[in-house]
Every structure is written in structure tokens, then in C-alpha cells.
Amino acid sequence: MTETKVSEFPAKDSYLNELAGSKKNSKNRQIGQVKGKYGKYGGQYVPEVLMPALEELEEGYERYKNDPEFLAELDHYLRDFAGRETPLYFARNLSKKYGSKIYLKREDLVHGGAHKLNNAIGQALLAKYMGKTRLIAETGAGQHGTATAMAGANLGFETVVYMGAKDIKRQQMNAYRMELMGTEVKPVETGSKTLKDAINEAFRDWVTNIENTHYLIGSVVGPHPYPVIVRDFQSVIGREVKEQILQKEGRMPDSIIACAGGGSNAMGIFYPFIEDKDVKLIAVEAGGKALKCTEKAALHSASLCAGEEGILHGARTKILQDKNGQILESESVSAGLDYSGVGPELAYLSEIGRVTARYATDDEALEAFHELSRHEGIIPALESSHALAYLKRASEAGELGEVVVVNLSGRGDKDLETVLSLRGGI
């Protein structure tokens, strides 16, 4: 087993010319024109009251991300608590079916059942080094909330997680798991009662409790420096894949496929491969019922495929909005992909053609959920099932290539009740 390397955080993004702008006053940063730009996306579109907290977080991250003591402790938690490194598993039966060598990056085997702990333990440890005593987080499927609860319990934080009331009904067991570990789960009854609304409530909490509280955002969304921090903590996935695929195949994969809501698992596996131009990077969004919109809501959650430029949760990115610029409610069978936006760096990479955006419908994801379970004996999360669903479409279109890696971002135990209710049985 190779040793997990977390000390390889990038000093800069060589493929970007506009990242890390000059030090100007906070009013300029407030309107998103300086820090953390990915082309026209990213920035810091937040109230002035949040600027000191964002500046403190950026300074703390820059201080500790290459600190030997911090990195040694992070290595310890990733290895002995999270269970890294995770296997790169050759899916023999799927490979036979689709005519390509298909490998699954087994993030479902991380402690807690998903990739979310990579970021949660990293940010919680950073918060500890910065002297914070309280963690808050948002969650959709409950996996990020669970990971935050785990990290908070282990590191001794008071922890509060905001979760949409609709998502609590879909993911009751994850809500109970959080409470079991001492986390207060606060139901959000506003708006669509899903992830977008949970993020809004978490921001409101943070504004009130900036001094002692760290907001542990779970995806590559929000104002700078969050997209960078989350991406860097998740990029351990892609770094491991690079070593593992060379050991197994002696070459780079032809394509890497990951589901994308906010985009943390996608950016985590994509980022180390961005400059490997022969590796196709495919982000599969939630196509919901159809790639259509009503007056007040979208029937999907595919911001890259069908969204428009706008501002959501402190960053300019691709979002689902109506003709008046109002955010449309999103829809997906998967709580973790049920989000009206996407991370700004992923929006940029899609726009310049480095990442290919695709989608899978609810029905396609459910079919893939059953397919992997029956062919490989692995029950995938509904989020990951969207990435798996694309195998069929890509195979039919001749887009897969000879060697394919799919990021299996989480396990599906949490989704069994949802699937049973939708299908009326196995």
C-alpha cells in the first residue's frame, strides 16, 4: 500500500491565469472581482460582515497547508481514522458487459461511507489549529453532515448541522447517526427544504457566531477560499488514482467519470489529471425527470448542462434560474445532487472544454444502482449511480475508451429506503 500524500497541495494553479488576484480592499472582494477567480467564475460575493472571517480562513489555510505538524496530523487521521488509501477496484463483470476495463475508485469504503470525510477531517483540523471551538455545516444526503459529526466528535468540537426537512425525511438514518455522535441537527423548513436552503441557514449562523465558529462547507462551492480548500482536501482521491492506475495498467486512463452536484468528488478525482490532456474528464449531473423547467422549478439538477451564469452562495457560477434571475428549485432522486448550482472551478473547466458535462436521469441512475449491486456485489450511493449510469450511454456512443475510472463516491445503504419506496420492492 502506498502512503497517503497530503503534502502535495498545489502552490498555484498552473492552468489558470486569473487565480489569486492582487491584495485590494475588502469592498472590491465583496463584489467578487479579486480573489479565487476561474475565468469569470468564482470570487467573493458576500456581505461585508463575512469578509473578516473569509480573510481569516484564507490566512489560516495558507499558513497551515504546508506546515509539517499539521500535515503529519492530517496524514494520521486520513490513514488511521478515515481508512485511506482506498482501493482502485477492477469491476470484472461490468468490464465484460461494456467492453472496456472499468475501475471503481472505492470512496464508499472511507469511514462513514463516502468521500466526504476527506474534506471534513481536513477542515476540522484546520479549525482546531485556528483556535475555533464550534463547527457548523450543511448537508443534503447526510453524508457531509455525518462526516462533520465524526470529525467534530473526534476533535472535541460543538457541532451543528443544518439539513433540509425534505432531506431529513429522505435520509432519516443519517440524521440519527449525526445525533448519535453528539451533533445537533437543525431541520430547515424554508424554500424547497433541501441543500440550497440548508446552506442559506448555515451562512446565517456563521454571520452571528464568526468569532468561535468555523463553517465547514461540504463542496467546492461558496466564496473563495472554500472552493480551493475543499478541492485540495479532496484531491487525495485523484493522487491515489494516478499511482494505482499506473501500477495496474502502466498507463493513464482514457476517461474518468464522476457525478457532480456541487462537485467535490468530481474535482477531487479530476484535479490531479487536469494537465493530462489525453485523459477525458466527464462530470455526470442529475437529470432528474427531464432536462426541462416549469415556471418556478427545474425538473433536474443539471447546472452545467442546462444552467446559466449567475451568483449563488457567494460565488459566480452556473446556476438554475428563471428569466428574472431568481433561483429555480432543483430536483433529483439523489439528495446529494439536489442543488441549484455547481462549483465555480468546475463551471470554468466545463466552459473551456477540459471537463465534459453529461447527465443521467432518475430512472437511469436507479437502473445503474441495481446493475452494480447485482453484477459486482457493491451497492452504490444514488449520487454515484449517476456516474455509473453514464457507462451505458457512453459505451453505446463509443466514448468510453479502453481504460475507464469511475469515482464510486459513496455507498448506497442510506438510499435503500428511497429505492424501495420508488420501486415498490427489489
Q: Is 409 a catalytic residue?
A: yes
Catalytic, out of 58, 107, 138, 383: 138
Domains and CATH numbers, the chain: 48-81+115-225 (3.40.50.1100), 88-113+234-423 (3.40.50.1100)
Q: What is the DSSP string of 17-71?
A: SSSS-----HHHHHBTSSSSEETTEE--B--GGGHHHHHHHHHHHHHHTT-HHHH
Which one-letter amino acid corresponds to residue 227?
Answer: P
Show the low-confidence residues of the chain (pLDDT under 50): 1-2, 4, 7, 11-12, 17-34
List, as one string, the DSSP characters of 320-371.
-B-TTSPBPBP--SSGGG--S---HHHHHHHHTTSEEEEEEEHHHHHHHHHH
Q: pLDDT for 329-366, tens place per residue?
A: 888 888 789 888 999 999 999 999 999 999 999 999 99
Segments of 151-201 assigned E as strands: 158-164, 184-188
Cross-strand bridge partners of residue 310: 317
The per-residue pLDDT for range 19-50, each reduced to its tens digit, is 333 333 333 333 333 468 999 999 999 999 99
pLDDT at 9: 58
Angle at 91 between CA 354 and CA 415, to 5 degrees: 80
Structural contact between residues 149 and 182, judged by C-beta atoms closer than 8 angstroms: yes
Question: Which one of 235, 255, 350, 409 is the catalytic residue?
Answer: 409
- Annotated catalytic residue within 37, 101, 116, 166: 116
Give the three-class secondary structure for 113.
Answer: coil
- State yes or no: is 301 an active-site residue: no
Note if 166 is an active site residue: no
Q: How far apart are CA 201 and CA 193, in angstroms?
A: 11
